[in-house]
Amino acid sequence: MTEFDESTLTKGQLRKLNALRKSVGDEVGTRAFAEWLASQDTAKGKQDGNAAMIVDTLWPMVQDGTLAIPRGGYRIRRGRGRIIVEPAKP
């Protein structure tokens, strides 16, 4: 059985743990949660490919000074056959 510290869990993780313990018992629920938590930790290392591509494309322009991103940033979305870039609204 994999050990974990309950004080470091998020609110959602605690809810999942308590629900599992209630439904299948303390020992089995704790073991199932530990397996689920171990599988979730490996998924955190994955990076969004689209976000990485945007960063790789824009970062050289930011460093050159040809592109300035103001405070608040921009919102990028798809349009019909084009990309729409607009200032982000708070």
If you write DSSP's letter for every residue of 47-85 in order, what string do you get? Answer: --HHHHHHHHHHHHHHHHTS----TT-EEEEE-SSSEEE
Tens of pLDDT, residue by residue over 63-82, are 998 988 778 888 888 889 89
Give the per-residue pLDDT at 48. 82
Give the per-residue pLDDT at 2. 58
What DSSP character marks residue 10?
-
C-alpha 17/C-alpha 36 separation (Å) is: 10
Any residues with CB less than 8 A from the CB of 30 and at least 6 apart, and which?
Answer: 1, 17, 20, 21
